[in-house]
Structure 1
Amino acid sequence: MKQLFGSTINILERAINLRSLRNTLITANIANVDTPGYRPTDIPFQELMSRYMEDASAPSGLARTDEAHFNTDGRSGSGTTGSHGPIDQASDAVTEPSERGTPNSVDIDVEMTRLATNNLQYQAAVQALIKEFELLKTAITEGGKT
C-alpha cells in the first residue's frame, strides 16, 4: 500500500495502534491504583513513532508476512516481522520508576491526565485517517469526470 497511496496511511495506522496500546496500559495503571507494590507502565510513544518513521523512510525490499517465507539471503523460516510488524506490549512497555513514598507509585491525577491526552490524540489520528480515506474516495469517484 505504501507505493500506491504513500506512507501517510501506514503512519496513521501505527499511531492509532500505539495510542490504543497506551490506552490499555494507562487504564491498567488506573485499575491498579490501590494494588500494593504496583508500578505504572507506559510506552515511549514519541520514540516508537520516530523509530517507525525512520524505518518507513529507509528503502526496503520484499516484506516477509509469514515465518515460512524465504529471507532475503535465501534461507527460510524463523525470522521476525521487523519494526513494521505488530506492536509487542511486553517489549515496548516501560515500567516507570517509583517516585512516591507510598506502597504504590500510581498517581491517579497523572494517569487520568495521560488518559485524557492520549484519547484526544487517538481521536485526532482517527480523524486524520478518515480524511485520508475521504480523499482517496473522492479521487476514485471524481477523478475521471470533466
Structure 2
Amino acid sequence: MFAGISSSKSKQLVESALASRNLRQQLISSNIANIDTPFYKSRDIAFERALSERAAEIYGKKETKELELAMTDAAHLPKVKFPDSKLATIFLRDGHMARNDGNTVDLDVETTELSKNAIMITALDNAMKRDSANFKSVIEASSKI
C-alpha cells in the first residue's frame, strides 16, 4: 500500500476471508493426516458470522440486534461477549459415525470439503488480482496525464 491509499474497501474483507480459508485448509489437512489416529475427532471452522460482521464494519452497515448494557456506575463490570463473534470458532464436526477406534474422520467428507475450500480460495485470489489490476490501471493512467 502507498501511504494509506487503499484500492478498495473489499480488499480488507477478501484478506480476512483468505486467512480464514487458509485456516480451514490446515484443519482439513490435519483431519486427513489423523485418519488412522484412534479417538481423533474431525474438526472444522465456522468463520462466516465473523466475516459478515467484518463486512458490516467495513461498509458501515452495523446493525446490531444486541441490547446495549447501561453502565450507570464506574464500578460496574463491562459486559462479556462469549463467544466473541469477531473470532472464528473451531468445532468438532458432528453427524459422522465413529469407527470402532473412536475416530470420526470420513475421507469422503474431508476430500469434498478440501475441494470446496480450494475453489473458494481460487475465487478469492482472482478477486484480489482483479482489484490489484484495477488499481494498477488507475495509477498507470494518472501517470500519463
Same fold at TM > 0.5: yes
Name the residue aligned to 1:130: 129
Does residue 1:96 correspond to 2:93, yes or no? yes
Whichever residue aligns with residue 44 of structure 1, its letter is: A
- For 1:6 and 1:132, locate their aligned partners in 2 and report how far apart those are by CA, in whole Å: 7
- For 1:98 and 1:37, locate their aligned partners in 2 and report how far apart those are by CA, in whole Å: 15
Larger Rg, first or second structure (1 or 2): 2
**Count of matched residue pairs:** 119
Whichever residue aligns with residue 129 of structure 1, its letter is: M
1:92, distance to aligned residue in structure 2 (A): 2.8
Structure 1 residues 48, 8: CA separation in 2 closer, same or farther (over 3 Å shift)?
A: same
- For 2:141 and 2:126, locate their aligned partners in 1 and report how far apart those are by CA, in whole Å: 22
**Alignment deviations for residues 69-108 of structure 1 (CA, whole Å, 9 cap, x no partner):** xxxxxxxxxxxxxx4xxx7xxx631122363041211110
**Alignment deviations for residues 48-79 of structure 1 (CA, whole Å, 9 cap, x no partner):** 211221232348xxxxxxxxxxxxxxxxxxxx
Between the two proteins, what is the percent identity of the paired residues? 29
Moved over 6 A (4+): none
Whichever residue aligns with residue 129 of structure 2, its letter is: I
8 Å CA contact retained: 2:13, 2:55: yes
1:97-112 correspondence runs (5 A): 97=94, 99-102=96-99, 103-112=102-111
8 Å CA contact retained: 2:18, 2:124: yes
Whichever residue aligns with residue 114 of structure 2, its letter is: L
Whichever residue aligns with residue 12 of structure 2, its letter is: N
Question: Which structure: greater helix fraction?
Answer: 1
1:138, distance to aligned residue in structure 2 (A): 0.2
1:144, distance to aligned residue in structure 2 (A): 5.1
8 Å CA contact retained: 1:41, 1:95: yes
8 Å CA contact retained: 2:21, 2:117: yes
8 Å CA contact retained: 2:8, 2:131: no
Name the residue aligned to 1:19: 21
When normalised by structure 1's length, the TM-score is 0.70
